[in-house]
Structure 1
Amino acid sequence: MMRTRPLKVALLGCGVVGSEVARIMTTHAEDLAARIGAPVELAGVAVRRPDRVREGIDPALVTTDATALAQREDIDVVVEVIGGIEPARGLITTAFEHGASVVTANKALLAEDGSTLHESAEKHGVDLFYEAAVAAAIPLVKPLRESLAGDKVNRVLGIVNGTTNFILDRMDTSGAGYSEALDEATALGYAEADPTADVEGFDAAAKAAILAGIAFHTRVRLDDVHREGLTEVTAADIASAKRMGCTVKLLAICERAADGRSVTARVHPAMIPLSHPLASVREAYNAVFVESDAAGQLMFYGPGAGGSPTASAVLGDLVAACRNKLNGAKGPGESAYTQLPVSPMGEVVTRYHISLDVADKPGVLAQVAMVFAEHGVSIDTVRQQGKDGDAWLVVVTHRAADAALSATVEALRKLDTVRGVASIMRVEGEQGS
């Protein structure tokens, strides 16, 4: 039988995502009640601008005092979609202290201080859910936390930022430069007025920290994630990738070391073969490729941003949190028992694509090859183009440590015959890499 007293929900933030959450709660009220076993009532909405018209939301529910709303003893679940570090962190911990479970989409906060939030939720016997923090509507956090809890995840490789994937897709399909593709992304609403968080990799790095922590049962913070954006990717890089049968993607890569004693987490542009499933992810879509011992290779794909997709993930968590409240149960908390160290980027081993501007004269290739050999970086292929005294060398290496490649590049820059290192890009997603 359905309980008649409704479960009460406080909504902190009513922007694109928050307003969609409120709309779905209203329009799907009967279905939500049937799935949970009790009605769900929106009991308050905290906003910064109370005079703004919010269609479908009773003005009597709107308040600017988010703290008072989070402190209400009758609130069962708090949905936080404000974003940022503060006041979100203080509001979430306040909600825990007053017995409310929390559903959040706040990737930045979770990547910076997720362990503290988990500890607070555990202390007060409530839930912390955050499916919407990574890849919006794509079910990813729950499969990693629960469905694969009995397996050993070794690698998570993914496109987790729709804006950057749209930009790189346009550069690949239309031949546009970075600035042109960014302008198009902005005009279509995929990129913010200030796109820094996306194009410099901060957004993807926060998601990588969350994914690595869940996948490897260890604590990984944003500062542990090596981060490079895509602002230096050129049309020449895209063209060179095509000649190799590859495309360029901004990837989040989380890996367990072969000996199982450490993990790495990184975000950077990379060339991947067209045969890899991630190569076909177009426009602003997201996809994450998970590799584990027992399950093998799994791919999760779908829209990774936007009001409706993100609200879908929030509502899924809301249903789970309400069910637990109703049944006196509690969902999974933080699993960080392995306490594995996060290795520095210098220890990461992969392949590289290096483009060099060199003098067009005899002996240059031999000098360049010698530098690679001296630093223990084996060359796979070399392509040379030259005309009227100008020449380009494109070198693709075998697998090597990032530190060895960095030392090689520094030595190359000191050669009189090398005018410049035009670009360096990692090559990922190949068999055995």
Structure 2
Amino acid sequence: MTGAPARRRAASACAALALLLATAPPARPAEIALGGARFDLPAAFEDWTRREANDGLLFQRVYEPTGPRGRKGMAILLVAKPRPASGPFDAAFTGFVRGIKQVPSEGKPLTAKAGETLDGHPIRIEQRCCRSSDGLRMGAWFVGIAAGGSEHYLMLLTLQLEREAEKPVREAFQALVRSYRPMRDDRGFVLAPKSGDGGMEGLYARTETRLMPNAFGGMDFIADQATLLFDKSGLYTTELPRDGDIARHCRTAVASCGTYALKGGWLSAKSIDRVEVENAFGLTKRSSETFARTGDGIKIGDTTYATMPPFAEGHRFSGTWSHTFGSSGPTGAVGGARTLSLAPDGRFTREGSTGFSSTGGVIDGGTTVAGHSRRPVQSGRYAVSGFRITLTDEAGGTESLSLFAPDRDSDKLLVIDGANYLKQGR
């Protein structure tokens, strides 16, 4: 749908929300106060139209199509004014979701999460889609926070938004939610270890395997390296920072980080307390598990991790490593390979290829479409330090990737940027 009819339908779907709040926007500070709550407005929302009234704040923006077949889209951000608690939080949150008539609220949501914020307040998150009553493509995120006898609600609604625009809008909404501070003494999302936290340092890993459904109706066998990188300060992450800076990494890749405290110190600890960030909205999980040192690693609860030693500064490799991937099922298949050759003189060569096929009909075979693409060969010099390899190509461009070897006595398997690379030949 394009042109005036689509614009009229989009306007109709948003009319009730737009009528919630009206008046001209004032100047926008970095920190916004709303009925005793505070939040930081991400830069992505600064050029949106802002309206305010007694009910709260509404921000909206119209997106023009980016191509000849594109469609005009719209995004609406609602930050409701805090209201007194009206009963059990779960029931109140459900009432808020159902109160937005433009969004289908029946049936199961795509995503439903419940937990706590870093400040310890109950939080609920729901994602819903996909069509409005007018037939427009729709997506909505709802967030509710209960704190100090009050309820706080936020919502992001997208209508006909192209995928290229939707991701940065969603990420900005997640950042806003993380910054939301319902109480005067709240800090928002500040992942800072407390006094007495920390005490451990190093990388620990274990191999995990599982079966996962894929988009072609089949099952994929997945073998991953589950990692825990601890910093003495009390931070830890499940993903290796590309630049080696865990504090900087945890400010952006928030859903991979947390804090920890060893009870009894590194040498005699019997338990470990962790605050784990579960998603980009800042929902957290607190846990306390048994802890023990093993001969070559650690054991947390019933899970054992092996110590991963870092590579020495200037370490050199000799050989070619390949990472292969693929998915297949009744409706098609996709697969490919990436190779990385590392020479003792410090040079590297990298290339890759991908192929796919898709069948239009499962019963009668239908039409099969296939394709293949090859990544241009890249070469240059590499440098290794700790858990990092930096590739510098012939044009001077650099790329830093995480690196470790699960087997301390062999380089047959290298985990590069989270992917398993097997050494070719002997």
Q: TM-score, normalised by structure 1?
A: 0.25
Q: TM-score, normalised by structure 2?
A: 0.25
Normalized per residue, the structure richer in helix is 1
Q: Which has the higher contact order (CA 8 A, sep 6+)?
A: 1
